[in-house]
């Protein structure tokens, strides 16, 4: 008898629980989106599920605007009336600004485009879109494609090899290889090349745009409205989950290799250990994110992007999608570490030799194009304000001193490697920039770029994240750096003085 | 007072909850299995816990047979009466077909064998066992052990080295090293070499078979009933958890290295990111698996094995344990990518030079032994039907075009590497196949197989999974491939023309 | 109406639930700790949250002492009265033994030190602190810093390179680089270099010790009371979570690189697969840890540290913080595998050549300093008692036979590599120990230490954990070992007989 009663209560309990969650399902869906769902919930159930799981499916922009400032996810001050009272569904995004998108087609009575761009998202999230336009990541396509030296590095890696006169020569890579390799992360340049009719199961013949460079979610994608960037690189369609964007796996998609080993270093750091061990109980959805309540250690987003408050609700740091607001040093991707560029468009940079590089070959800065000391200090202070939520002043200071020493030390090692390389070039044992040659494509030149493109980076990332010895030493760090420099030195000595040292 | 009442309700709530779970414990256990449990729950509590957590411990085959078709996990149309009404316990599997198993011994009144084989599992899961017999993985032992060229590659890697006349020579590896290395995944050949008496704590002196090659769960293990394969490679004893088999960590056991980096590539892909970030809330146990309901992104099993339905219960793709039903190209393990072999026994393949390889050294296919264009198209369509559950036609087509271009491009690069290798062989700077030599064992030959055994593979896996740039470029991809080819070219030029280029 | 009633019940249910958890919040906090919390919950909310989540914040030592033996986490027989009746808060640890700590300062009326040391923790956890003092890890700083050969290896990796006479030379690394690299894990030597006044937001001007080598949580840190070790290396401040210490991510912080790839090997092993796939449902907090109830596969801690019992509560193995109690062989870090050292201080070891190494260059043991056969057997039996909780005797025996064969085989391969190295030294093609040279710093010498410092280690770890083929073969295992030996052989032959083999 008692059991029966309990069963009744339990049943009620679960009904109510379910009802509680289900309530959001009553949020108003626009007629246009309803029509989309009619077909696509059958033909593409996966993405419809994603969307149904999303906040977009259960809140209207009007509700979003009513939220108090710090907890608000919608940053635009005003949102068009016609979008305010239905949830953000298929049609709300894919029919925005139809005249701007080259891939807009007539689709069951609607003018629909496939590729949603940051200016579309800016309808509700204008602050973030604006910040992201100032983020060097939004320029990732052009910064690579429009820099002659970087293009040469690209060619030396993903170009088509052939043997000419006993030597490897590289031709420019084809567009599909570029899209599959460098531009997967950097973003492709999309282009509508035509229209095609396809016979669909549910709606008969329909017209679609044929898009070169598609699919792609690279961070600096050139969109069909001419804009740069892809919000979906991190805010994965169609859940647009803040939980996902805040977890380090999202950053890992492009930051896992030895060129920029942010994820493996994080995962091996104390912070990553705490996340992996105890993170299952944290709150990754709370806005704002409260240190001392929601999480027990930072993820990538915590330090680089998120709005953080303390348990009293006081702001520790503001949200940013520019991302380098809290970064003084640029520690990877180029020959030497250097202060962050002033502008997200890095193609304008010239060093003292006129090369499109932020440093000279001896490490000197192209200072005109880089932030100054004051700005570096400001950004350092911003980052440290986060560290100081959990660490004492002496801890943070001690950490930073080590980090800046490591920047100086890795730069000194790279200078040793670069001097060997320059001697090799000078003695004509490799071509370098002579005769318009590609300075990155000979075997010994590849040994040289390994030292800075991989090893010095790994060491600095490890130091930056206080990430344990391994990635800074044995796992692509100082061990491999010292091995490569010793190898370059031997290579040079044996070819310069073939009878010495044998 | 209110608290006291609630406490009572809570207590009842939990009692009922526990009772609810516990109900399954009343499932009938056979007398034989009860006897097993008497000792083994004390002597081997870990595996008894595993079994108790398993579906095998809580359902009878009769119950399994009664389940409606799509949700059924038991594929045999008929199961012996004597096995139908008790749960699947220790004795049910370990006393099956005693005369067939060379390791069967008398054990407390029962004829028990240690190594359960696919034909044992086929008692209830005949369809899966049948499909798996057609899976190239079930031939993984013989395909390696019985191919002269592959054996030479094996010897060059795990053989015993010694210096003879200033050169490294390799002797065949010992059996224990083989079992610890290649055959850990490929599967050992088990053999009963004798019997031994052991004094056990709970049952006194007992007789056991001594089994060479044991323990092993490799996918192509040669069992003591002569059969091939080990279901436990993926369906880990003794939970046989479908949740586990569907998670990518299971595939990782053998697919994590640079020779076949499926797991690291997946984990860095968008799909892997979604799984890592949000998968904690998905249903990994549902049969059938419903896209648009149970999961938000595919795991390895989703694309390669599982029965998938859409939310209306319509089949998207049937379950398969042959695994290559959805694969047109074989993208790893050999010099060039090629269409999948027709037969799981690949020892029968001969290329135009009579070598047991599916391609010639210039990349031409041993077409007689490989699937044709029509079958490739059919398999491609089968795989794409899964993609299309979440992606538009243009997305899938765009992805596939990139993937097939990458296959062609990596093959072209490997052709460059192979031509250098052939020149080196021709000029006698390495022996290759001359004088019955091992073509894989000299340092420069190892540089060559790095290019296809590691780097081209990684690039193709990354492309196949749309897995981000890093594993296709910097993390063992195009970067390392171009470096290796440049290195081979330099090596050759300096030795062929020792005074050129210095 | 029914719903309303249920809502009331639900509310009560949750109130009680919360109250249940919250009850611990009433645990008595000392006045001193209350004062700490007044400021630090605002200035350092992150660590205060950590502590509030910890067992330390909710139990008094008196409660800890009252727990029955096997479940007790406090090992000291007696704890000072004044500490027994309040929870273990900030002040309880940071004001202990003030005269012993060189960093003790006057801080708001209390004598506070920053760096808590094992002797502080020993107040309640004396057994663990005692065991850890016998753990080779607690000597990790001195064992590296006070061994001339190891220091040379360190210099060859993290030293400052410069080109002198066409050759790379290394100067000793600076202290900050050491702290950022090797000593991040090994532990720094802390030293108070002065005092500084800082103006704090909440308490005005305060005095702090300036500590060289801080921050650091390396396992062999030399503390400011002269003690060795850091409990916080694994028991991360300020949760001191046993769950975290038992998860493999904690060990990963220092055991992830190719020099000691314990984590990647574990994660790719069957045990790691089970943990990754099903571990979310296990109990990582239970003391004692019950095999067959709490967990379905071992983590690092299970095999190396934890107190384990069977479901009847019988002890399978006792807790140990010495860690090598269950280890017969030392399989990494040095040229050959060898029995574990007798003493945690390894600086006293001398081989037959008088070098501070546990083996000769031909692999012979410095037996006087290493455990004997009997002790090896005892430790093996201790480890196997854990294996036997889930595996049969023949399984365990088969596994161990493979493992010991792999130790012998990797040592044989390293002997081949070392003989090539010795020939190179003998012929003067590299300096080795001649003229007081660093035997590790030339490019070819680095190729040599790669063979044992990386590859042989990885192979042995993989074998020890039955961890699949990849880390033992393709992912830094036998593949790379054979490649390196072939490369060394070619290097030597071409330089010794420059006209042979070209």
Residue B338's φ and ψ, nearest 5 degrees, are: -160, 165
Reply yes or no on whether the pLDDT at C7 is more than 50.
no
- The 3-state DSSP class for residue B191 equals strand
Partner-chain residue, chosen from C6, C159, C161, that has the shortest CB–CB distance to A12: C6
Q: Tell me the pLDDT tens digit for each residue of B272-296.
A: 999 999 999 999 999 999 999 999 9
Strand C308-309 relative to strand C289-290: parallel, antiparallel, unpaired?
A: parallel
Longest Cα separation, chain B: 99
Residue of B nearest to C396 (CA): B215
Q: Is B241 on the interface with C (CB under 8 A)?
A: yes
| Ramachandran region, residue C88 (left: φ > 0; alpha: ψ -120 to 50; beta: rest) | beta
Distance from CA of A7 to the nearest CA of B (A): 8
Predicted local distance difference test score (pLDDT) of residue A498: 63
DSSP string, C197-262: EEEETTTEEEEEEEEET-S---TT-B-TTS-B--GGGTS-TTT--HHHHHSHHHHHTTS-STTS-H
Predicted local distance difference test score (pLDDT) of residue C498: 63
Give me the mean pLDDT over the B46-63 stretch. 96
Partner-chain residue, chosen from A12, A273, A412, that has the shortest CB–CB distance to C253: A273
Chain A contact probe: residue of B269, B310, B390 with most A CBs at under 10 A: B390
Predicted local distance difference test score (pLDDT) of residue B470: 92
Percent of chain B topping pLDDT 90: 91
How does residue B333 score in pLDDT terms, banded at 50, 70 and 90? very high
Distance from CA of C502 to the nearest CA of B (A): 6
Predicted local distance difference test score (pLDDT) of residue A404: 98
Partner-chain residue, chosen from C13, C43, C443, that has the shortest CB–CB distance to A486: C443
Beta-carbon separation of B486 and A160 below 8 A: no
Residue of C nearest to B200 (CA): C393
Q: Is B80 on the interface with A (CB under 8 A)?
A: no
Distance from CA of B456 to the nearest CA of C (A): 15
Strand A191-200 relative to strand C329-330: parallel, antiparallel, unpaired?
A: unpaired
Chain A residues lying within 8 Å of B401, measured CB to CB: 176
Predicted local distance difference test score (pLDDT) of residue A218: 97
Partner-chain residue, chosen from B45, B168, B198, that has the shortest CB–CB distance to C292: B45
Q: Is B239 on the interface with C (CB under 8 A)?
A: yes
Q: Which of B154, B196, B161, B150 is nearest to B175 (CA)?
A: B154
Strand A105-107 relative to strand A289-290: parallel, antiparallel, unpaired?
A: unpaired
Reply yes or no on whether the pLDDT at C8 is more than 70.
no
Chain B contact probe: residue of A168, A172, A187, A450 with most B CBs at under 10 A: A168
Predicted local distance difference test score (pLDDT) of residue B7: 47
Residues 419-448 (B) with a CB less than 8 A from some CB of C? 429, 441-444, 446
Residues 13-52 (B) with a CB less than 8 A from some CB of A? 13, 16
Q: Which of A314, A313, A324, A317 is nearest to A298 (CA)?
A: A317
pLDDT in tens, chain A (502 residues): 444 445 445 444 444 444 434 334 468 999 999 999 999 999 999 999 999 999 999 999 999 999 999 999 999 999 999 999 999 999 999 999 999 999 999 999 999 999 999 999 999 999 999 999 999 999 999 999 999 999 999 999 999 999 998 899 999 999 999 999 999 999 999 999 999 999 998 899 999 999 999 999 999 999 999 999 999 999 999 999 999 999 999 999 999 999 999 999 999 999 999 999 999 999 999 999 999 999 999 999 999 999 999 999 999 999 999 999 999 999 999 999 999 999 999 999 999 999 999 999 999 999 999 999 999 999 999 999 999 999 999 999 999 999 999 999 999 999 999 999 999 999 999 999 998 899 999 999 999 999 999 999 999 999 999 987 799 999 999 999 999 999 999 999 999 876 544 3
Predicted local distance difference test score (pLDDT) of residue B27: 82
Reply yes or no on whether the pLDDT at B423 is more than 50.
yes
Partner-chain residue, chosen from A44, A236, A280, that has the shortest CB–CB distance to B389: A44
Residue C245's φ and ψ, nearest 5 degrees, are: -65, -25
How does residue B467 score in pLDDT terms, banded at 50, 70 and 90? confident
Reply yes or no on whether the pLDDT at C144 is more than 80.
yes
Beta-carbon separation of B253 and C276 below 8 A: no
Reply yes or no on whether the pLDDT at B21 is more than 80.
no
DSSP annotation of B473 reads: T
**Chains in contact with B via at least 3 Cβ–Cβ pairs below 8 Å:** A, C
Chain C residues lying within 8 Å of B210, measured CB to CB: 394
Residue of C nearest to B244 (CA): C277
Residue of A nearest to B291 (CA): A46
Chain C residues lying within 8 Å of A272, measured CB to CB: 249
| The two structure tokens encoding residue B55 | 């579906």
Q: Is C155 on the interface with A (CB under 8 A)?
A: no
| Ramachandran region, residue C187 (left: φ > 0; alpha: ψ -120 to 50; beta: rest) | left
Partner-chain residue, chosen from B157, B259, B280, that has the shortest CB–CB distance to C482: B157
Q: Is B415 on the interface with A (CB under 8 A)?
A: no
Number of H helices, E strands in chain A: 22, 11
Predicted local distance difference test score (pLDDT) of residue B498: 63
**Chains in contact with C via at least 3 Cβ–Cβ pairs below 8 Å:** A, B
Distance from CA of B430 to the nearest CA of A (A): 17
CA-to-CA distance for C490 and C501, rounded, in angstroms?
A: 9
Chain C contact probe: residue of A282, A390, A485 with most C CBs at under 10 A: A390
Query: How high is the mean pLDDT of chain B?
Result: 94
Beta-carbon separation of C469 and B182 below 8 A: yes
Reply yes or no on whether the pLDDT at C281 is more than 80.
yes
Beta-carbon separation of B3 and C9 below 8 A: no
Residue of C nearest to B43 (CA): C389
How does residue C497 score in pLDDT terms, banded at 50, 70 and 90? confident
Beta-carbon separation of B114 and C392 below 8 A: yes
Q: Tell me the pLDDT tens digit for each residue of C295-350.
A: 999 999 999 999 999 999 999 999 999 999 999 999 999 999 999 999 999 999 99
Beta-carbon separation of B181 and C393 below 8 A: no
Give me the mean pLDDT over the B363-385 stretch. 98
Q: Which DSSP helix (H) or strand (E) runs through C129?
A: helix C126-133
Chain C residues lying within 8 Å of B157, measured CB to CB: 473, 478-479, 482
CA-to-CA distance for B404 and A176, rounded, in angstroms?
A: 10
Residue of B nearest to A441 (CA): B486
Residues 294-313 (A) with a CB less than 8 A from some CB of C? 296, 310-312
Q: Is C2 on the interface with A (CB under 8 A)?
A: yes
- The 3-state DSSP class for residue B124 equals coil
Beta-carbon separation of B280 and C280 below 8 A: yes
Q: Is C398 on the interface with B (CB under 8 A)?
A: yes
Q: What ipTM does the predicted assembly reach?
A: 0.94
- The 3-state DSSP class for residue B37 equals helix
Distance from CA of C487 to the nearest CA of B (A): 6
Chain C contact probe: residue of B165, B180, B300 with most C CBs at under 10 A: B180
Chain A contact probe: residue of B302, B405, B468 with most A CBs at under 10 A: B468
Q: Which residues contact B378 (CB under 8 A, 6 or more apart)?
A: none
Q: Is A493 on the interface with C (CB under 8 A)?
A: yes
Distance from CA of B19 to the nearest CA of A (A): 11
Predicted local distance difference test score (pLDDT) of residue C435: 87
| The two structure tokens encoding residue B501 | 């280029």
Q: Is C412 on the interface with B (CB under 8 A)?
A: yes
Q: Is C152 on the interface with A (CB under 8 A)?
A: no
Partner-chain residue, chosen from B389, B402, B463, that has the shortest CB–CB distance to A46: B389
| Ramachandran region, residue C59 (left: φ > 0; alpha: ψ -120 to 50; beta: rest) | beta
């Amino acid at each position: 008898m008692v059991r029966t009663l309990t069963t009744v209560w339990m049943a009620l309990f679960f009904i109510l629980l379910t009802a509680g969650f289900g309530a959001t399902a009553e949020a108003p869906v626009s007629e246009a989106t309803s029509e989309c769902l009619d077909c696509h919930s059958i033909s593409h159930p996966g993405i419809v599920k994603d969307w149904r799981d999303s906040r977009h499916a259960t809140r209207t922009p009007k509700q979003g605007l009513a939220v108090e400032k710090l907890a608000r996810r919608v940053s635009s001050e005003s949102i068009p009336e016609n979008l305010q009272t239905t949830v953000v569904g298929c049609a709300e995004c894919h029919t925005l600004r139809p005249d701007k998108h080259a891939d807009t087609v007539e689709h069951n009575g609607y003018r629909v485009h496939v590729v949603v761009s940051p200016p579309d998202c800016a309808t509700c999230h204008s602050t973030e879109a604006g910040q992201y336009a100032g983020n060097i990541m939004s320029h990732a396509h052009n910064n690579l494609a429009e820099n002659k030296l970087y293009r040469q590095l690209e060619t030396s890696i993903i170009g088509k090899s052939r043997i000419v006169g006993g030597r490897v020569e590289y031709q420019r890579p084809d567009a599909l290889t570029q899209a599959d390799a460098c531009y997967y992360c950097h973003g492709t340049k999309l282009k509508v090349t035509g229209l095609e009719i396809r016979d669909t199961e549910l709606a008969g013949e329909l017209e679609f745009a044929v898009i070169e460079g598609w699919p792609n979610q690279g961070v600096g994608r050139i969109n069909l409205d001419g804009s740069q960037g892809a919000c979906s690189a991190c805010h994965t369609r169609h859940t647009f989950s803040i939980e996902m964007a805040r977890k380090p796996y999202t950053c890992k998609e492009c930051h896992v290799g030895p060129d920029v080993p942010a994820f493996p270093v994080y995962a091996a750091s104390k912070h990553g250990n705490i996340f992996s061990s105890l993170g299952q109980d944290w709150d990754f959805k709370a806005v704002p994110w409260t240190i001392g309540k929601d999480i027990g250690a930072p993820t990538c987003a915590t330090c680089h992007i998120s709005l953080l408050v303390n348990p009293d609700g006081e702001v520790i740091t503001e949200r940013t999608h520019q991302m380098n607001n809290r970064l003084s040093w640029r520690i990877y991707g180029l020959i030497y570490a250097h202060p962050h560029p002033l502008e997200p468009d890095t193609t304008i940079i010239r060093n003292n030799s006129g090369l499109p590089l932020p440093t000279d070959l001896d490490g000197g800065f192209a200072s005109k194009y880089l932030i100054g000391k004051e700005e570096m200090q400001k950004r350092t202070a911003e980052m440290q304000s986060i560290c100081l939520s959990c660490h004492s002043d002496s801890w943070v200071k001690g950490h930073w001193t080590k980090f800046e020493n490591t920047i100086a030390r890795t730069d000194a090692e790279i200078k040793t490697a670069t001097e060997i390389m320059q001697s090799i070039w000078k003695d004509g044992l490799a071509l370098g920039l002579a005769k318009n040659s590609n300075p990155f494509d000979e075997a010994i030149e590849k040994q040289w770029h390994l030292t800075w493109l991989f090893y010095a980076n790994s060491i600095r990332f490890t130091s930056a994240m206080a990430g344990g010895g391994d990635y800074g030493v044995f796992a692509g760090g100082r061990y491999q750096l010292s091995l490569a420099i010793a190898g370059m030195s031997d290579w040079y000595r044996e070819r310069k003085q073939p009878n010495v040292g044998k």
